[in-house]
Amino acid sequence: MNLRVHSYESFGAVDGPGIRLVVFLQGCPLRCIFCHNPDTWAADKGTETPVEEIVRKARRMRPYLGNDGGVTFSGGEPLMQAEAVLEATKALQAEGFHVAIDTSGGIDSEAAYALLDAADLILLDVKAPDPERFREVTGVSQEANRRVFDHLRETRKPVWIRQVVAEGLNDTPAERAATEAYIAGLNVQRIDRLPYHELGLHKYEELGIPYRGAALRPPKKEALR
């Protein structure tokens, strides 16, 4: 099968344990207010890439990935291409690579669950614990997201939680408590609160897409502790 690839990062150090080949996939069903990769949204763009090519890339990088590293599928939203990513995941694991999936958990198809089950680690984005706020932040309903979180609870899959924190969005103690309640019961191995930044804003201008996050600001340090 083929994957639609947006881009690669060959020495990723923040998307899972160790040094990683990060494969950024094309296509995302969400429209997050703070997204700095709007160029990944369109599902019909990117480069059609056979699974075998990804495996070959990982093989070439094996000396750098070492025992701790591996391959991370990020996006965009990897669950949008769940069947092909599952095939790639199994092929990589058969050669001893650790595979992580970086997802917002916004798709609850059978194929998505099969991929979540097969992956070694899920990097799980928390968009917003409150359903109304979730829709405001992502543009879509929270229902699929809640079901995916429940599935990850049931399967005890190891997860790293990631949350973008912005002043004026979710930097209060009450928002933090609500997030902690939303992730309760998950097999959480690590939590990263990532400061909102404006590095991707030029992409909105280039794509001619209005930026919805103009009122957001980077958080104060205390909000990230």
Q: How far is the CB of 140 from ligand SF4 (least distance, A)?
A: 10
Rounded to an integer, what distance in angstroms lies between the CA atom of residue 218 and that of residue 200? 14
Report the residue from 32, 51, 116, 128 that binds ligand SF4 according to the rule CB under 6 A.
32
- Each residue 62-91 as x (binds ligand SF4 by CB under 6 A) or -, in order, gives -------------xxx--------------
Size of the site for ligand SF4 (CB under 6 A): 11
- For position 126 contacting ligand SF4 by CB under 6 A, the verdict is no
- For position 37 contacting ligand SF4 by CB under 6 A, the verdict is yes
Report the residue from 31, 57, 151, 153 that binds ligand SF4 according to the rule CB under 6 A.
31
Q: Of 3 and 65, which CB lies nearer to ligand SF4 in the complex structure?
A: 3
**Phi/psi-derived region of residue 168, left when phi > 0, alpha when psi is between -120 and 50, beta in every other case:** left
- For position 170 contacting ligand SF4 by CB under 6 A, the verdict is no
Rounded to an integer, what distance in angstroms lies between the CA atom of residue 66 and that of residue 96? 11
Rounded to an integer, what distance in angstroms lies between the CA atom of residue 43 and that of residue 192? 28
Q: How far is the CB of 137 from ligand SF4 (least distance, A)?
A: 8
Report the residue from 3, 5, 22, 30 that binds ligand SF4 according to the rule CB under 6 A.
30
Q: Of 55 and 140, which CB lies nearer to ligand SF4 in the complex structure?
A: 140
Q: Considering only CA atoms, which of 173, 177, 106 is closest in space to residue 146? A: 106
CA angle 11, 78, 128 (to 5 degrees): 100
Q: How far is the CB of 67 from ligand SF4 (least distance, A)?
A: 29
Q: Of 91 and 146, which CB lies nearer to ligand SF4 in the complex structure?
A: 146
Per DSSP, the residues of 82-129 read HHHHHHHHHHHHHTT-EEEEEE------HHHHHHHHH-SEEEEE---S
Residue pair 105/145 in contact (Cβ under 8 Å)? The answer is: yes
Tokens (6 digits) for 157: 């899959």
Q: Of 30 and 82, which CB lies nearer to ligand SF4 in the complex structure?
A: 30
- For position 104 contacting ligand SF4 by CB under 6 A, the verdict is yes
Q: What are phi and psi of 180, to 5 degrees?
A: -60, -35
Binding site for ligand SF4 (CB under 6 A): 28, 30-32, 35, 37, 40, 75-77, 104
